[in-house]
Structure 1
Amino acid sequence: FELQQPQDKESVTAGQTLTLTCTVSGNGPPGPVRWLKGSGGGNETIYDQTGSYPRVTRAMSGSNTDFTIHIRDVQPEDAGTYYCVKFRKSLFSDVVFQSGTGTEVSIRAKPTHPVVSGPDHRVRPGQSVSFTCTAGGFFPEDIRVKWLRNEALILVQQPHITPGSTKSSYDMSSTVVVALQKDDVCSRLVCEVQHPTLKAPLREVYELSKALRVPPSIHVVVDPPRPVEVNETVSFTCAVKGFYPGDVAVTWLENGMEMKVENNSQSMEPCGLFELRNLVEVQATAEKNGSVFTCRVVHDGQEPVSEMATLGIAAPAGDGLWDPSQMENGVNLLYSPALWLGILLEKGLLGGLLFFLFKR
């Protein structure tokens, strides 16, 4: 009797069908031929003629000499050493009569699609942030990872590889540290994974804008900028520029008291950064002279920032306040030479008259 198991090693890709070859010749004792995975007391029956094995079929059903089998939809956990074994019937149980040399099976498994994770909160420009790329369930362990920032290669260490969740599979993680800048609201970070089972690399994109917070600049413009007449309309425009993300709330205060202003904001996004203009119009009254108007901005849930402007009202003549009509060609009338000459002449004439009366 001779049992032949010619395959020493077999390697297949997960999801494919594995074929294990076994043939016998000559006369042997009564007893079944079975396929076992593993040896010794820890073996597992993969196939025999009497059991039910949904994924396993015989290549030559009913043959007494060809016990080749097909195992469909193999997975990484199917990796191991398989033995074709001839058993001999005995009084209480079957005993091993002859065993094949064994076929060592490895399952090539593709890595899962990579996942890139970033910080759990946004950071300001100039700060450095770690990003991690993970993939798992692959075999063999030979795997390469590339990081790209806007398609420019970033040099990093080789990925960290650990045993996977199933036997004969591996997981990996790779980390890169990136110093974020304001312009990165338009940047993309790419993790590219290469493995022998892949025809083309797997790529995962992380938008750096998800990790970035660019605070706004604020400027209040008053129109008209000069002191205005009573009952004239004055416009205060709050220009909020260069911020990201676009979550922003604008509030106007008059002398510290919140104003009721209609929502007339206009938001723009040139080159990835947001801009916003918010307008409030005020009718100038004498009571509002010197009033302080504050534009308060809350960006992305952060502490408020603000900018102030003061309303100046030109008082009419006779009010005892500054009056533009008292200025003629930029010269104050109190400082006119003609005025002082008249005063001196008046004093001289009065003195001469008194002297004449005294002499009489």
Structure 2
Amino acid sequence: MELLPRRPAWPLTCLVLLSLRPWPGADAQAGFQLHQPQKEVSVRVGETLTLSCTVTAGGPIGAVKWLKGWGSGNETIYDQKDPSTWGKRAGNDSSTDFTILIRDVRPEDTGTYYCVKFHKTTAGEELYQRGEGTVVVVQARPSNPTVSGPRDRVEPGKTASFTCNSWGFFPSDINVKWFKDKTLIQSQLPNVTPEPSNFTYSLSSTVTVMLQKDDIRSELTCQVLHTTLTAPLTRSYRLSQVLRVPPSKVVVQPSGSVGLNETVNFTCEVQGFYPGSVTITWLENGKEMNTGSTPQLTETPEGLFELRSMVAVQAVQEKNGSVFTCRVLHEGQDPLSRNATLWVTASGQKESNSPYTNGSSLFIYVAVGVVCTVLALLVVAILYLIRVKQSKGKSSPSARLHEPEKSSGTTTQDSDPNNMTYADLNFTKEKKNVQRVIEVSQQSEYACIQGSQAPASNDNLTYADLDMVHLSKAPRRPAPCPEETTSEYASVQIQRQ
């Protein structure tokens, strides 16, 4: 008996398996459906994410799972048989609703999620049907911003840069504004970069400010705006944290020269500085002193500081000419020094032209002295000239009468020979021994000079010098008679032309 060859049995086996295995088309015809309605979901960090998925009854035997991503890099988010997955069913008793919840969402939860129906076979679970996927966007709220400034303090008139930082936000769209005391100022474009191994972004914004002396009470404010915020996030920075105002004035005020063994107080005033950390050291002839009062720090309305330190010194002779120095050290900068010299007077009286005046008062006193000397010399010269003139004005012991010119229209003496010209004069007396001689003529003109008091001697006569004296004409009078011995007179004859 010839044996016929065996037909391979695998086609029958495959047919049996195919007949046992449901396939999508057949199930679809049977009415099975998987529905994933959400196309995109936006959620904020920390909130609970809800992913919806429903299936119809009568489907093949197999589990329904949630996967994040598709392909080789997918991740199981929900598996009913694996409690380690963090997705939880919203309703555990339902056989058709496979909505899950993901609590405390993080930025890394951003991605696309799929609801998948598997078919259980002897070889294991095989994909049967999946949803269209839901895109999940996790909106991360920016962190509270921080503002940093330069490490070292900056003096007025110089620029300083300040940086505002914020991180952990998503999406990347973000806005930053800078204010100085509520006034908007221009800043550089913000730098937004993705954070490594994360789906969030970080922000860095920088602004440059020219510092001023009155910025001690000023503030810089960084304002961050994002879609996840209902109100902007702000952070302020006080400019006093970085501003350094050096002392505007250091003055040493001594009380001037003092008497021996008296006490002189040297005061050092430091004005207009910030911050208030100042060290004052007193030195005597370059050597540090152990004495000195505790500095008194006061604040001005502008926010600056003033400080006063005083040292008392006994004015002994050994300290005469000693130099006292106030050295001011502010914020570790180069020290400022001011000097004063102690002068001791033996009399104990303070000198007005003390060297403490730095020469200004001495110059004034010298100038005043020169002016007074010149004025005194001028007065002496004027008095001398007046005296010389007066001495030249005194007449010699004689009398001169100059007859004025006679005009052509006047009557000549020939027409009236008896007319006489005379003058009565009172003047200073001088002694001269002469004889009283009176010559009387009808053709004479004379001047009769009467003294107010009789001379002590009968022979004394008084003479006068007369220049340019016009003698008035008078009617003819009798010839003068010899006067008494107590009279003083002068008789001058003028010859007619």
1-side partners of 2:124 and 2:188: how far apart?
57
Q: 1:63 aligns with which of 94, 100, 113?
A: 94
* 1:46 maps to 2:74: no
Q: 1:272 aligns with which of 281, 303, 310?
A: 303
Higher relative contact order (CA 8 A, sep 6+): 1
Residue number in structure 2 paired with 1:19: 50
Q: 1:293 aligns with which of 317, 324, 328?
A: 324
2-side partners of 1:194 and 1:177: how far apart?
21
2-side partners of 1:223 and 1:298: how far apart?
21
CA positional deviation for 1:223? 4.0
Partner of 2:164, secondary structure, is: strand
Residue number in structure 1 paired with 2:285: 255
Partner of 1:189, secondary structure, is: strand
Whichever residue aligns with residue 280 of structure 2, its letter is V
1-side partners of 2:126 and 2:139: how far apart?
34
* 1:168 maps to 2:199: yes
Q: Contact conserved, 1:122 with 1:211, CA < 8 A, in 2?
A: yes
* 1:73 maps to 2:107: no
Partner of 1:84, secondary structure, is: strand
2-side partners of 1:306 and 1:55: how far apart?
73
Q: Contact conserved, 1:21 with 1:67, CA < 8 A, in 2?
A: yes
CA positional deviation for 1:134? 0.5
Whichever residue aligns with residue 332 of structure 2, its letter is G
Residue number in structure 2 paired with 1:186: 217
Residue number in structure 1 paired with 2:493: none
Residue number in structure 1 paired with 2:39: 8
Partner of 1:40, secondary structure, is: coil
2-side partners of 1:55 and 1:244: how far apart?
58
2-side partners of 1:157 and 1:297: how far apart?
40
Q: What does residue range 113-124 of structure 1 map to in structure 2 within 5 Å?
A: 113-124=144-155
Q: Contact conserved, 1:218 with 1:238, CA < 8 A, in 2?
A: no
CA positional deviation for 1:57? 2.0
Q: What does residue range 107-146 of structure 1 map to in structure 2 within 5 Å?
A: 107-146=138-177
Whichever residue aligns with residue 46 of structure 2, its letter is G
Q: Contact conserved, 2:292 with 2:312, CA < 8 A, in 1?
A: no
2-side partners of 1:53 and 1:118: how far apart?
47
Task: Give the CA RMSD over aligned residues.
Answer: 2.3
Residue ranges of structure 1 left out of the alignment (5+ in a row): 338-360
Q: Contact conserved, 2:50 with 2:101, CA < 8 A, in 1?
A: yes
Residue number in structure 1 paired with 2:255: 224
CA positional deviation for 1:247? 1.3
Residue number in structure 2 paired with 1:350: none
CA positional deviation for 1:234? 0.8
2-side partners of 1:5 and 1:23: how far apart?
7
* 1:238 maps to 2:242: no
Residue number in structure 1 paired with 2:400: none
Whichever residue aligns with residue 146 of structure 1, its letter is K
- The structure carrying a bigger strand percent of its residues is 1
1-side partners of 2:213 and 2:53: how far apart?
66
Superposition TM-score, scaled by structure 1 size: 0.85
1-side partners of 2:76 and 2:251: how far apart?
81
Partner of 2:121, secondary structure, is: coil
Partner of 2:281, secondary structure, is: strand
Residue number in structure 2 paired with 1:347: none
Deviations 1:18-38 (CA, angstroms, capped at 9, x unpaired):
111101114332211100001
Residue number in structure 2 paired with 1:212: 243
Superposition TM-score, scaled by structure 2 size: 0.62
Is the deviation greater in 18-27 or in 156-165? Answer: 156-165
1-side partners of 2:99 and 2:140: how far apart?
24
1-side partners of 2:253 and 2:95: how far apart?
100
2-side partners of 1:237 and 1:217: how far apart?
17
| 1:86–1:215 distance in 2 versus 1, CA, 3 Å | same
Pair member with larger Rg:
2
1-side partners of 2:120 and 2:233: how far apart?
53
1-side partners of 2:344 and 2:310: how far apart?
20
Is the deviation greater in 54-63 or in 177-186? Answer: 54-63
1-side partners of 2:88 and 2:37: how far apart?
19
| 1:63–1:130 distance in 2 versus 1, CA, 3 Å | same
Partner of 2:206, secondary structure, is: strand
| 1:279–1:298 distance in 2 versus 1, CA, 3 Å | same
Q: Contact conserved, 1:218 with 1:306, CA < 8 A, in 2?
A: no
Partner of 1:61, secondary structure, is: coil
Q: Percent identity?
A: 55
Is the deviation greater in 42-51 or in 266-275? Answer: 266-275
Whichever residue aligns with residue 42 of structure 1, its letter is G
Q: Contact conserved, 1:30 with 1:88, CA < 8 A, in 2?
A: yes
1-side partners of 2:69 and 2:281: how far apart?
74
2-side partners of 1:10 and 1:53: how far apart?
24
CA positional deviation for 1:55? 4.3
Deviations 1:315-360 (CA, angstroms, capped at 9, x unpaired):
449xxxx99xxx9xx98xxx9x9xxxxxxxxxxxxxxxxxxxxxxx
Q: Contact conserved, 2:252 with 2:338, CA < 8 A, in 1?
A: no
Deviations 1:273-326 (CA, angstroms, capped at 9, x unpaired):
111100001111122111110001111122221111111222449xxxx99xxx
Q: Contact conserved, 1:85 with 1:96, CA < 8 A, in 2?
A: yes
Q: 2:180 aligns with which of 144, 149, 169?
A: 149
Residue ranges of structure 2 left out of the alignment (5+ in a row): 1-31, 355-364, 377-497
